[in-house]
C-alpha cells in the first residue's frame, strides 16, 4: 500500500494536510455491463469524487483507452447518485480533477517537514 503516515496529523490535528485521496479499482467482466475489464482511477476531495475508467488488459497489466468519467458532488449528493461529469457547467472541475488525478498522490502529499 502506498501513501503517507498519519502520525504527523495525529500528533498535530490542525496541521496542513493533503487535499485529496486516491484509489484504483478493477471492474471485472462479470461486473461490467458489456463484459469487458476496466480499471478505475479515483480522486476524492472535500467537494468531489472523480473517477476515470480505462480499458484494462489483465494479461499484460496495462491500461488501454479512456472509456468514461464520473463526477459526483459530495456536498449536494453525498450518496453519489447523480453523475454530473457530462454537464457543461462541470467542464472546468472535470479538467482540474483529471489533471490532479494524472499527477498522482505523490503530488498531493503534505509537507511533512513543516512544523
Residue 4 DSSP SS3: coil
Distances from the Cα of 26 to the Cαs of 36, 58, 104, in angstroms?
A: 11, 10, 18
- Provide the pLDDT confidence category of residue 1 given band limits of 50, 70 and 90: low
List pLDDT tens digits, range 71-81. 999 999 999 99
List pLDDT tens digits, range 24-77. 998 887 777 888 899 999 999 999 999 999 999 989 989 999 999 999 999 999
Indicate the fold that domain 18-106 takes in CATH.
Arylsulfatase, C-terminal domain (3.30.1120)
- Per-residue confidence (pLDDT) for residue 83, from 0 to 100: 98
CA distance 33 to 111: 42
- Per-residue confidence (pLDDT) for residue 5, from 0 to 100: 75
Distances from the Cα of 39 to the Cαs of 24, 93, 105, in angstroms?
A: 7, 22, 17
Domain ranges of the chain: 18-106
The residue with greater pLDDT, 89 or 30, is: 89
Mean pLDDT score, 5-19: 80
Amino acid at each position: 500500500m502506498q501513501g503517507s503516515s498519519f502520525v504527523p496529523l495525529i500528533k498535530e490535528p490542525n496541521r496542513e494536510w493533503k487535499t485529496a485521496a486516491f484509489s484504483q479499482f478493477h471492474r471485472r467482466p462479470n461486473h461490467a455491463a458489456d463484459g469487458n475489464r476496466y480499471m478505475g482511477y479515483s480522486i476524492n476531495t472535500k467537494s468531489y469524487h472523480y473517477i476515470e475508467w480505462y480499458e484494462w488488459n489483465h494479461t499484460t497489466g496495462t491500461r488501454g483507452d479512456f472509456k468514461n468519467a464520473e463526477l459526483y458532488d459530495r456536498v449536494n449528493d453525498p450518496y453519489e447518485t447523480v453523475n454530473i461529469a457530462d454537464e457543461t457547467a462541470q467542464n472546468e472541475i472535470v479538467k482540474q480533477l483529471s489533471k490532479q488525478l494524472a499527477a498522482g498522490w505523490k503530488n498531493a502529499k503534505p509537507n511533512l517537514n513543516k512544523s
